[in-house]
Structure 1
């Protein structure tokens, strides 16, 4: 059964975001909670998550953070490692359906109530501008600290593989964002995203052209194709064939 999560009301989201700025980073643990009286739930669609289950979710993500040095400042590599492990934890423990995961206020609750210390550690404040609202409030789910990770795990989940989350390890942050930021054209079709990542993983033999250049050129070509092809109706095998062909064409054009 799908779980329903607390949805932090807008005024409380703003109050909590200001509180985050007013609280020194070393004391962010003091504003952690597993509930809020200023949160609501969807009326139907599953059962409400319990406080104990929220504590378990926090524990899983906190362990991933501690493994990367939390609460000391993290490096780029540590940030990427944390993101990959947290994507796995979120997808396995949250038990959300996409409709629930599309609710901005659900992610506002997770970032500002359940995990403000971890979220602020992963995305620390800029000395002149403070914390970035998108990482905490859920105003843009492609940039939210946790929503973007759940979405990656949901889209790249490969249940037939020995490790269903192995595709999370293929692309770096910037390259994966090139796909996920194009929500309507690419990321809205999970099978297409998996095909793109698999083709990049498989196409490593020819080093005459850097694989990142091939990746980005092939994305441009796929984006042009999505304007007049209905990729949602294609099978996973058909999408794999298409992506491999486009990638081969991109490599040949760059090699010429």
Structure 2
């Protein structure tokens, strides 16, 4: 993508415009704003291609279109605000701007005070008896600037390892963070300036927040707030961003676990990765090549304990292994967990339906073991298919026989899943 130099609006002009527009409604701003005025506008003197007036006009039209899709300029809902912030964040991720320009406050001042100030007033303004009011800090550059705050979220919390959506942490409807979470994470300069540390905190918070429901009176917001206080204190004595990743993970996990335990909750030990597992020795009826042709795995009680008593569709990451532990086939598909006897009040028969094709189950054989496991903080399931009689099969089978059925993931299985299966490519 070709990048450009963006206009910069100097401090004096941005303050004048912020003071003016903070008293006007979105419609009033649209009527008086001359977005392409050159007063107070400069460009970086170090060279580069300037974004043309046509390019700026196109960007303005695109941003206004995003806002109109959520009710601009006449209406606004909480859901619409969240949706707009997410859409704007995705647009900022692909903004054709020179990287160094994003660090200049004057660039963000231009966008919010000159290019589209009416969007800022619509997003953050309020109408009272004295008229429309918008906080000037939403127009002026800084951590609370309407656009700059979203760009900072994108820069810090972008997750390139997530192939489906690298901005999933910004989407509260997809298991990401809420607005209160963002404030706790990103408005602490001693932490948010360190990307690795902030990402670690965000990921571990998502992982541990599910255990809040086991506490007496702790909310998810309180968990993050209390953890951030302790992380800030710890940061005064140790550079958490510079220490090895494993030590940083241990430190953050210990803090979250300690806060949950302090409020009477239950939480796995900080080193744990897996929430639970279930093993199934495959029989003829479990396989797609069977005469029943149902492509379903019988819901043994361990599998039911893992997946619950509610009908659900979820992603399943399948891996079929050779006997030496290397991956033979790996695919992802959607599976359905359902009760085939749901209409019968006196009987239940749970099954896991999987596609007939595009899963390694096509290559599995009767007697092989499929080991289902779910990670803490994830809504998907992993399925490890181990060929019967091979070393990898015997090692897992031996561990299962030794520990029997357990509510929690045994240490032997946890270690094996982490070291021998899940981390293999």
1:66 — aligned with what?
68
1:251 — aligned with what?
260
Matches within 5 A, 1:203-218: 203-206=208-211, 207-209=213-215, 210-218=219-227
Matches within 5 A, 1:13-162: 13-20=14-21, 25-30=26-31, 31-34=33-36, 36-44=38-46, 46-97=48-99, 99-125=100-126, 127=128, 128=130, 130-138=133-141, 141-162=142-163
Alignment partner of 1:196 is 2:198 = no
Alignment partner of 1:181 is 2:187 = yes
Q: Decide which moves more: 8-17 or 155-164.
A: 8-17
Distance in 1 between residues matched to 2:198 and 2:91, nearest whole Å = 21
Runs of 5+ consecutive residues of structure 1 not aligned to the other structure: none
Task: Call closer, same or farther: CA 1:125–1:9 in 2, change over 3 Å.
Answer: farther
Task: Call closer, same or farther: CA 1:181–1:22 in 2, change over 3 Å.
Answer: closer
2:322 — aligned with what?
none
Deviation at 1:236, TM superposition (A): 4.8
Distance in 1 between residues matched to 2:247 and 2:3, nearest whole Å = 31
Task: Call closer, same or farther: CA 1:218–1:11 in 2, change over 3 Å.
Answer: closer
1:232 — aligned with what?
241
Task: Call closer, same or farther: CA 1:59–1:198 in 2, change over 3 Å.
Answer: farther
1:17·1:136 contact (CA, 8 Å) conserved in 2?
Answer: yes
Deviation at 1:172, TM superposition (A): 1.2
Secondary structure of the structure 2 residue equivalent to 1:44: coil
Greater fraction helix: 1
Higher RCO structure, 1 or 2 (CA under 8 Å, sep 6+): 1
Secondary structure of the structure 1 residue equivalent to 2:223: helix
Q: Decide which moves more: 64-73 or 52-61.
A: 52-61
Secondary structure of the structure 1 residue equivalent to 2:95: helix
Deviation at 1:157, TM superposition (A): 0.9
Distance in 1 between residues matched to 2:221 and 2:22, nearest whole Å = 38
Deviation at 1:22, TM superposition (A): 7.0
Distance in 1 between residues matched to 2:264 and 2:103, nearest whole Å = 41
Secondary structure of the structure 1 residue equivalent to 2:17: helix
Greater fraction strand: 2
2:191·2:198 contact (CA, 8 Å) conserved in 1?
Answer: yes
2:22·2:121 contact (CA, 8 Å) conserved in 1?
Answer: no
Q: Decide which moves more: 201-210 or 151-160.
A: 201-210
1:155·1:190 contact (CA, 8 Å) conserved in 2?
Answer: yes
Q: Give the aligned CA root-mean-square deviation in angstroms.
A: 2.5
1:105·1:137 contact (CA, 8 Å) conserved in 2?
Answer: no
